Amino acid sequence: MSKEKEPSLGESLKQLEAITDWFENQEAIDVEKALEKVKEGVVLLKASKARLKEVENEFAVVKKELEG
């Protein structure tokens, strides 16, 4: 079974912005659709947080190499 490629950090942020825009532009929110959007946002936030941690670790390695 192949693992689906995770979106880049930039793509995730764009998708989160689109979700935010959707909520801001609704006059009457469909609760079921809103729940879908919230769940989608949670997945994107978790992936973004994990990617940021990876980048932070990569920067730490590079810094250590420079100082080493």
Give the tens place of pLDDT for each residue, 15-49: 999 999 999 999 999 999 999 999 999 999 999 99
Task: Quote the pLDDT of residue 16.
Answer: 97
Taking every pair of C-alpha atoms in the chain, what is the biggest distance, in angstroms?
Answer: 58
Q: Comparing C-alpha atoms, which of 37, 36, 47 is closest to residue 9?
A: 47
Taking the C-alpha atoms of residue 8 and residue 14, their distance in angstroms, rounded to an integer, is 10
Taking the C-alpha atoms of residue 47 and residue 6, their distance in angstroms, rounded to an integer, is 8
Instruction: Specify burial of residue 44 (Cβ count, 10 A radius: 0-12, 13-18, 19+).
Output: buried
pTM across the whole model: 0.79
